[in-house]
Amino acid sequence: MVSVGVARANEKLVELSKDNGNWVMNGRTYEAQNYSPLTQISTSNVKNLRVAWSFSDGVLNGHEGAPLVVNGMMYIQSPFPNRTFALNLDNPGRIVWENNPKQSSAARSVACCDVVNRGLAYWPGDDTTGPLLFKNLLDGHLVAMDAKTGKTVWKIENNDIRVGSTLTQAPYVVKDEVLAGSSGAELGVRGYITAYDVHTGAQKWRAYATGSDESMLIGKNFNITNPQYGTSNLGLETWQDNGWKIGGGTNWGWYAYDPQENLIYYGSGNPSPWNATMRPGDNKWTMTIFGRDADTGMAKFGYQKTPHDEWDYAGVDVMMLSEQRDKDGKLRKLLTHPDRNGIVYTLDRTNGDLVSANKIDDTVNWVRHVDMKTGIPIRDPEYATYMDHKARGVCPAAMGYHNQGFDSYDPQKQRFMLGANHLCMDWEPFMLPYRAGQFFVGATLSIYPGPKGNRQTGEGSGQIKSYDAITGKMSWSKMERFAVWGGTMSTAGNLVFYGTLDGFIKARDSRTGELLWKFKLPSGVVGNPITFEHKGIQYVAIYYGVGGWPGVGLVFDLTDPSAGLGAVGAFKEMAHYTQQGGGVMVFSLNGKGPYDDVNLGEYEN
């Protein structure tokens, strides 16, 4: 008999997340700031950072996300076939358990952008059920694992690969429910988010991104504070010819949660197909920042960033929460979101009020600016895309000026550390039919570095920036050889850490952007660093293993520049700097770690 616990596991998770020894969820806490108060490693000694230990998970392809660290254990998640490993930080050389699911390899063929996975979620347990770890499988299952043994407790079907629907997102735990998103807008999948009971796997609610208000969990109070964003019936009214049924809007990015408001925050993805001429209308509610009640799933607000998308600016990027004074000196609860479309949005997270919307780089050209009163982006028709026309020099490219990277916020400095892309494109759509299970894109792309990069060599496609969401100013900005794809992590040691596609982990002074340290990893990075303290030592850990969308040329050995949805040409130089890999590297000052005692873990006769 499985009963439903009464203890507030949610509060336990909040408590665990604030412990510097843990990193219990993606983003570290519900504020999703990827920020640690640890100061042992600082600007003055970061040059002494060395490898303490490492682990290969035995899988190639892109290693997105980051490990979790809970109560002295590290949990590692691989790309397809989505193996999970538990290591004890006292002796990481011994694998405590492994969960290795069997999946149909057919799942690989409907993954748009490498067979990545963005990580795990942890639920601390209650009176009736022990601690659980959750993972999504590429083949569409959500799995609950016993955190102590790794054994599968329950496993439900969330997505069907036969209709092109997969799962790459990390699950997210709020209270006693676990959220699963969806992937597959490149195959015409209509997106949905689902909440399940952690104890039993029973479905609590499901909300679609398009269609009827009822199916989207939109009620009469939706956008009550900002009716200019649009209110009822728009999931049908802003589409033609039942296109909403294959309208995309999948959410495969990240979440944040505010326990006081009881709202979860996330973004819905791009509409399908990429050929915008085939779907007249604003295509709501794709490309939308949602605030939804955690218990019921009902949407409190929804702000559509990119009405009638013409560039695949999938709006799923990271949501970082903060409390800051606005320009009028009023203390506000905020949400900051660097979008694919090149705009960094800051909203009041209690009601959806638009607080700021600034270009992440001045070379963004599809939009002149965002009208702060109406929330409407004022489009520049010169960079529109439509049938029988080849648009040129559109910035950002479909890969966005920001993609799936999980960035950080330093609450002391009140600055967002943004890992950005600097990529523009030419785009020409074409007509195509919809067949369930087949790709439904309908555009040919050529992607290349933006105006500040080098279009001849294909380098200079990334930036890292320190952003003030209230003034809209960048405190500093640095160019990178390739897109900063994996996100950033900040610490109270005045450091910002991040990995690069060409295979480095780097540390910069978060006040000035000065590069202070780097280390050459075995392969490029598409995940974000984490940090934690164990037995008095501060560690920094990061996955290596290049892949994801920028890595598809390298991973699948493609040479046609327009292959990989345009990414092959954009990253043709990458193979000169890195090859595939897969694992985790853990750093500490002077490499101090468990094996300083050279006899630890030795065979004893």
Interaction between residue 381 and other proteins (CB under 8 A): yes
As a whole number of angstroms, the distance between CA 263 and CA 297 comes to: 9
Using CB under 8 A, which residues numbered 172 to 191 contact other proteins?
Answer: 189-190
Task: Work out which of 8, 18, 47, 245 binds other proteins, going by CB under 8 A.
Answer: 245
As a whole number of angstroms, the distance between CA 253 and CA 271 comes to: 15
Interaction between residue 434 and other proteins (CB under 8 A): yes
Using CB under 8 A, which residues numbered 217 to 236 contact other proteins?
Answer: 227-231, 234
Question: Applying CB under 8 A, which part among 9-17, 69-77, 355-363, 434-442 lies near other proteins?
Answer: 434-442
Nearer to other proteins, 17 or 136 (CB): 136
Quick one: which of 536, 542, 527 has its CA closest to 589? 536
Using CB under 8 A, which residues numbered 277 to 296 contact other proteins?
Answer: 277-278, 280-282, 284
As a whole number of angstroms, the distance between CA 592 and CA 2 comes to: 44
Quick one: which of 455, 419, 408, 266 has its CA closest to 349? 266
Q: How far is the CB of 591 from other proteins (least distance, A)?
A: 43
Q: How far is the CB of 249 from other proteins (least distance, A)?
A: 12
As a whole number of angstroms, the distance between CA 103 and CA 63 comes to: 18
Residue 345 is encoded by which pair of tokens? 């949005």
Interaction between residue 384 and other proteins (CB under 8 A): yes
As a whole number of angstroms, the distance between CA 160 and CA 257 comes to: 28
Quick one: which of 552, 541, 554 has its CA closest to 22? 541
As a whole number of angstroms, the distance between CA 81 and CA 84 comes to: 9
Q: How far is the CB of 207 from other proteins (least distance, A)?
A: 13
Interaction between residue 238 and other proteins (CB under 8 A): yes
Q: How far is the CB of 5 from other proteins (least distance, A)?
A: 13
**Cis amide bond preceding 522, omega within 30:** no
Q: Catalytic residue, from 139, 258, 282, 312: name it.
A: 312
Using CB under 8 A, which residues numbered 472 to 491 contact other proteins?
Answer: none
Question: Applying CB under 8 A, which part among 28-36, 383-391, 477-485, 502-510 lies near other proteins?
Answer: 383-391
Strands 64-65 and 526-527: parallel
Q: Give first-to-last CA distance, the chain, whole Å.
A: 45
Helix (H, G, I), strand (E, B) or coil at 566: helix
Q: Looking at the DSSP assignment, which residues form a beta bridge with residue 289?
A: 267, 303
Interaction between residue 304 and other proteins (CB under 8 A): yes
Nearer to other proteins, 189 or 397 (CB): 189
CB 404 within 8 A of CB 117: no
Using CB under 8 A, which residues numbered 114 to 153 contact other proteins?
Answer: 152-153
Q: How far is the CB of 202 from other proteins (least distance, A)?
A: 4
As a whole number of angstroms, the distance between CA 290 and CA 352 comes to: 8
Task: Work out which of 50, 327, 392, 435 binds other proteins, going by CB under 8 A.
Answer: 435
Q: Please state the φ and ψ torsions of residue 11, each to the nearest 5 degrees.
A: -70, -35
Using CB under 8 A, which residues numbered 436 to 465 contact other proteins?
Answer: 436
Nearer to other proteins, 330 or 373 (CB): 373
Q: Looking at the DSSP assignment, which residues form a beta bridge with residue 69?
A: 23, 74
As a whole number of angstroms, the distance between CA 472 and CA 100 comes to: 46
Nearer to other proteins, 157 or 602 (CB): 157
- Convert 145-193 into a string of H (helix), E (strand) and C (coil): EECCCCCEEEEEECCCHHHCCECCCCCEEECCEEEECCECHHHCCCCEE
Nearer to other proteins, 204 or 333 (CB): 204
Task: Work out which of 95, 376, 470, 492 binds other proteins, going by CB under 8 A.
Answer: 376
CB 269 within 8 A of CB 286: yes
Sequence-separated (6 or more) residues with CB below 8 Å from residue 144: 132, 133, 134, 152, 153, 154, 155, 178, 198, 201
Interaction between residue 201 and other proteins (CB under 8 A): yes
Nearer to other proteins, 56 or 212 (CB): 212
Interaction between residue 108 and other proteins (CB under 8 A): no
Cα 436 to chain centroid, rounded: 26
Helix (H, G, I), strand (E, B) or coil at 24: coil
Question: Could you confirm whether 312 is annotated as catalytic?
Answer: yes
Inter-CA distances, 410 with 201, 381, 420, 467, Å:
36, 37, 17, 10
Task: Work out which of 20, 42, 200, 477 binds other proteins, going by CB under 8 A.
Answer: 200
Nearer to other proteins, 62 or 140 (CB): 140
Q: How far is the CB of 219 from other proteins (least distance, A)?
A: 16
Using CB under 8 A, which residues numbered 324 to 353 contact other proteins?
Answer: none
As a whole number of angstroms, the distance between CA 248 and CA 396 comes to: 20
Contact letters for other proteins, residues 146-175 (x by CB under 8 A): ------xxxxxxx-x-xx-x----------
Q: For other proteins, how many residues bind (rule: CB under 8 A)?
A: 60
Q: How far is the CB of 116 from other proteins (least distance, A)?
A: 23
Q: How far is the CB of 8 from other proteins (least distance, A)?
A: 21
Task: Work out which of 7, 51, 372, 387 binds other proteins, going by CB under 8 A.
Answer: 387
* Cβ neighbours, 10 Å, residue 384: 16
CB 361 within 8 A of CB 463: yes
Using CB under 8 A, which residues numbered 306 to 325 contact other proteins?
Answer: 307-308
Interface residues with other proteins (CB under 8 A)? 1-2, 152-158, 160, 162-163, 165, 189-190, 192, 200-203, 227-231, 234, 237-238, 240-243, 245-246, 277-278, 280-282, 284, 304, 307-308, 371, 374, 376-382, 384, 386-387, 431, 433-436
Q: Which residues are catalytic?
A: 312
